[in-house]
């Protein structure tokens, strides 16, 4: 497939998109919640979530069948359980760039770490809307063509506050106000994307400082994702293990992580 300028620009933008969504694996507090997604036409879906110490369990229904997914970042392993059949699949987690499983991203780290084909150069520190940010130049090269973007990474939170792309697109993450979600104190942020000859788009995000997670997000077009019924507390270890009596299935070839014939050792 021919790599176009547009494709390379999308690759450069990956760092911003990934950094903008915090993973529950790196939550600072153990909790359970229901993750609800509502489409612009009113259709909803729900997933039960249990978050432990770098371990996450999700429970959902797919085609009338209950599916449980358990991710253990410390051990670098993932299980998919089919309770109705008492069967499960096991695979190792992909670890791009040689990073250790469970390594929590630190604020202002190299945003190109674990992203092959990208290199980052630190340009210093600047203020963005009153917040201290680390400025990075991000470069990708392919077939002799080099393209650059610039990111300003929040020094405290490690999220990109601003990004400028070579096609003139700009993305800014701006603090809006302190508010509440599910009775919890959160921060509302506005992600604004502008591009030449394109209408401005806004994505609203509600960040929970205690959980260190985005707990609500409203996307352009009306899609809303949020955590509801949040309960703080240590989660039982048995939630993150395969129950006795389950039969192991083979992981289909070509799936992320690949088939694994071994169980990682603690």
Q: What is the pLDDT of residues 141-199, one digit of tens each?
A: 767 778 888 999 888 877 789 999 888 999 998 889 999 999 999 999 999 999 999 99
- Residue 105 covered by a domain: no
Sign of the four-CA dihedral 19, 184, 230, 73:
positive
Contact 58/48 with Cβ under 8 angstroms?
A: yes
Residue 95 has pLDDT above 70, yes or no: no
Phi/psi at 239 (5° precision): -70, -20
Strands (DSSP E) along the chain, which ranges? 31-38, 44-51, 55-62, 65-72, 77-82, 87-92, 118-128, 131-142, 145-154, 160-164, 170-181, 184-194, 201-208, 213-218, 224-232, 247-249
Cα torsion through 19, 24, 28, 30, rounded to 10: 170
- Residue 46 covered by a domain: yes
Q: State pLDDT tens for residues 20-43.
A: 435 676 677 899 999 999 988 888
What local confidence, expressed as pLDDT, does residue 33 receive? 95
Cα torsion through 23, 28, 34, 38, rounded to 10: -50
Q: State pLDDT tens for residues 190-240.
A: 999 999 999 999 999 999 988 888 899 998 888 999 999 999 999 999 999
What local confidence, expressed as pLDDT, does residue 17 receive? 36
Phi/psi at 135 (5° precision): -90, 130
- What is the domain extent for residue 197? 5-95+111-249
Q: With a threshold of 0.85, does the pTM exceed it? A: no
Residue 250 has pLDDT above 90, yes or no: no
What mean pLDDT do residues 123-139 have? 92
Tell me how many domains the chain contains. 1
Q: 117 is written with which tokens?
A: 């084909």
- Residue 78 covered by a domain: yes
- Residue 136 covered by a domain: yes
- Residue 100 covered by a domain: no
First to last CA, the chain: 42
- Residue 13 covered by a domain: yes
What mean pLDDT do residues 53-60 have? 93
d(CA 98, CA 18): 18
Residue 50 has pLDDT above 90, yes or no: yes
The residues that bridge with 204 in the sheet, in sequence order, are 190, 218
How far does Cα 200 stand from its chain's mean position?
A: 24
- The single residue listed with the structure tokens 């209408």 is 199
- Residue 88 covered by a domain: yes
| H-assigned helices in the chain | 5-19
């Amino acid at each position: 497939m021919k790599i176009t300028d547009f494709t390379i620009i999308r690759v450069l933008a990956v760092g911003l998109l990934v950094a903008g969504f915090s993973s529950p694996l790196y939550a600072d507090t153990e909790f359970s919640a229901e993750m609800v997604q509502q489409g612009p036409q009113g259709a909803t879906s729900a997933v039960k979530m249990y978050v432990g110490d770098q371990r996450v369990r999700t429970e959902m229904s797919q085609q009338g069948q209950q599916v449980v997914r358990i991710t253990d970042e410390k051990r670098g392993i993932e299980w998919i359980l089919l309770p109705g059949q008492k069967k499960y699949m096991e695979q190792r987690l992909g670890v791009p760039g040689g990073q250790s499983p469970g390594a929590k991203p630190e604020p202002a780290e190299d945003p190109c770490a674990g992203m092959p084909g990208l290199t980052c150069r630190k340009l210093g520190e600047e203020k963005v809307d009153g917040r201290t940010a680390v400025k990075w130049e991000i470069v990708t090269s392919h077939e002799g063509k080099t393209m650059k973007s610039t990111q300003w990474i929040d020094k405290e939170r490690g999220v990109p506050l601003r990004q400028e792309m070579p096609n003139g697109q700009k993305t800014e993450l701006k603090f809006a106000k302190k508010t509440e979600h599910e009775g919890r104190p959160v921060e509302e942020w506005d992600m604004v994307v502008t591009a030449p000859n394109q209408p401005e788009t806004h994505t609203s995000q509600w960040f929970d400082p205690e959980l260190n997670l985005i707990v609500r997000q409203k996307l352009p077009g009306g899609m809303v994702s949020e955590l509801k019924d949040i309960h703080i507390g240590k989660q039982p270890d048995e939630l993150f293990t395969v129950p006795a009596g389950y039969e192991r299935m083979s992981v289909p070839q070509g799936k992320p992580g690949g088939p694994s014939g071994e169980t990682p050792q603690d």
